[in-house]
Amino acid sequence: MDLFSISEDVGVGLILWHPKGTLIRNLIRDFWEQEHLKNGYQLVCTPHIARSELWQTSGHIDYYKDNMYIFNKDGEDHVVKPMNCPFHIQIYKAHPRSYKELPVRYAEWGTVYRYERSGTLHGLMRVRGFTVDDAHIFCTLQQVEQEILNLLDLTKHILQKFGFKKYQLYLSTRDPKQPSKYMGSQQKWSHAQNALAKALKKKQIPYKEMLGEAVFYGPKIDLNIVDASGRQWQCTTIQFDFNLPRRFNITYVGADSKDHEVVMIHRALLGAVERFFAILIEHYRGNLPAWLAPTQVAVLPVNNDCREYARKVHRKLQACGVRASLDANPSTVGYKIRQAELQKIPYMAIIGKREAETKKLAIREHGAGKTGSLTILELVKIIKEENKQ
Ligand SMILES: [Zn+2]
């Protein structure tokens, strides 16, 4: 479908997004950003490199060094970011915070780089450079449950719009027999785990508890989407963190005028965008719904005599905001239809002598054959409605 490629000259695990792939990617991002703005998030934008000191504080130099790209400039080590968290923390820390401003929710399509051995790389599924639909929520312990409820709603809403309606959820908790394995007080862990479990129960979402599967810095919810073929893909993560707030000393001033440690939640709903994109293409078998299709309408003149009217139709559709293409080649209309079918374009507007005379379009839907005759504006209305839905 000419969506992306990987070039040996660029390097393995690094994705080149072609025009059509970029278009789809931007459509996903635009939708994602709008929904996040509606849900009280603020968008931020952060650099791709940072001084190694930042990663010393975050603990990445000690625990994650083998996966990081490090280079030296002016006698100082710098790191190509493997994660976005420390940057969002710096924005939070840019000025003192009162309990009245919380929760603070920072969201970013943050591109990160992680070294993976070349043998483990696999198409779009496992790469070295990728973008996370990342966000970090800074809140009080009391606000945690409501935040989780909001997150479950937002996740469901966004994934459903991409056609994913079946999920499997996992709640990873601490192993009470090994308290030394975990950062943060037992009271905080219980509070966070209870908030996660309560939110899932309130929303009547079935889940599997994975005792002892939590990482050392906090409990988490993982969501696997189930695609059209019944395969499970790990996608959403909602992760508590009792480690970074302490390492970076991030606090808020409470109603008692004292400093309190803030609760931090990492969350990615789509996960790695490259991976999500691959799952999406598989799920629809390339037949993307009109709102995500790089070309929504292929305008196909039957012969040279109809070409002028076809050009007008094409321009009109574009002027109305429809992504349309024009196949003005001298080939037969049967060949043009086959080409448009191969490109999986949702609508074909076939223009013959009759259509040119009556100012109508013969519409053919992808995979459905002929579906009738419409005016340009009727077709625009159908596509606009699909975009909106
Ligand atoms: Zn994070």
How far is the centre of ligand 1, averaged over its atoms, from the C-alpha of 237 (Å)? 10
CATH 3.30.930.10 domain locations along the chain: 4-46+84-283
Please write the tens of the pLDDT for every residue from 187-219: 888 988 998 999 999 999 999 999 999 988 899
Separation of alpha carbons 276 and 273, rounded Å: 5
How far is the centre of ligand 1, averaged over its atoms, from the C-alpha of 83 (Å)? 6
How far is the centre of ligand 1, averaged over its atoms, from the C-alpha of 259 (Å)? 23
Nearest Cα to Cα of residue 366 among 385, 338, 387: 338
pLDDT above 80 for 369: no
Separation of alpha carbons 251 and 51, rounded Å: 23
130 C-beta neighbours (distance < 10 Å), count: 21
Work out the burial of residue 38: count CB atoms within 10 Å of its CB; fewer than 13 is exposed, 13-18 middle, 19 or more buried: exposed
How far is the centre of ligand 1, averaged over its atoms, from the C-alpha of 84 (Å)? 6
- pLDDT at res. 110: 97
**Cis peptide before 103, with omega less than 30 degrees from 0?**
yes
> Looking at residue 3, what DSSP letter applies?
-
Inter-residue contact 61 to 55 (CB < 8 Å): yes
How far is the centre of ligand 1, averaged over its atoms, from the C-alpha of 284 (Å)? 30
pLDDT above 90 for 370: no
How far is the centre of ligand 1, averaged over its atoms, from the C-alpha of 217 (Å)? 12
- 4-46+84-283 maps to CATH 3.30.930.10: yes
250 C-beta neighbours (distance < 10 Å), count: 18
Categorize the per-residue pLDDT at 378 as very low, low, confident or very high, splitting at 50, 70 and 90.
Answer: very high
Calculate mean pLDDT across residues 244-262.
95
How far is the centre of ligand 1, averaged over its atoms, from the C-alpha of 209 (Å)? 22
Calculate mean pLDDT across residues 216-239.
91
Residues in Cβ contact with 107 at an 8 Å cutoff, skipping those fewer than 6 apart: 33, 36, 41, 42, 43, 44, 133, 134, 135
Mean pLDDT of all residues belonging to the chain: 94
Helix (H, G, I), strand (E, B) or coil at 177: coil
Please write the tens of the pLDDT for every residue from 133-176: 999 999 998 999 999 999 999 999 999 999 999 999 999 999 98
How far is the centre of ligand 1, averaged over its atoms, from the C-alpha of 135 (Å)? 7
Nearest Cα to Cα of residue 342 among 380, 285, 384: 285
How far is the centre of ligand 1, averaged over its atoms, from the C-alpha of 241 (Å)? 9
173 C-beta neighbours (distance < 10 Å), count: 19
> Looking at residue 218, what DSSP letter applies?
B
How far is the centre of ligand 1, averaged over its atoms, from the C-alpha of 118 (Å)? 25
- pLDDT at res. 180: 84
Percent of the chain's residues with pLDDT above 90: 86
Categorize the per-residue pLDDT at 362 as very low, low, confident or very high, splitting at 50, 70 and 90.
Answer: very high
Instruction: Count CA within 13 A, CB hemisphere, residue 19.
Output: 2
How far is the centre of ligand 1, averaged over its atoms, from the C-alpha of 314 (Å)? 45
How far is the centre of ligand 1, averaged over its atoms, from the C-alpha of 82 (Å)? 10
How far is the centre of ligand 1, averaged over its atoms, from the C-alpha of 267 (Å)? 7
* CATH, range 297-388: 3.40.50.800
- First-last CA distance in the chain: 25
How far is the centre of ligand 1, averaged over its atoms, from the C-alpha of 375 (Å)? 50
CATH 3.40.50.800 domain locations along the chain: 297-388
Residues with C-beta atoms within 5 A of ion ligand 1: 85, 266
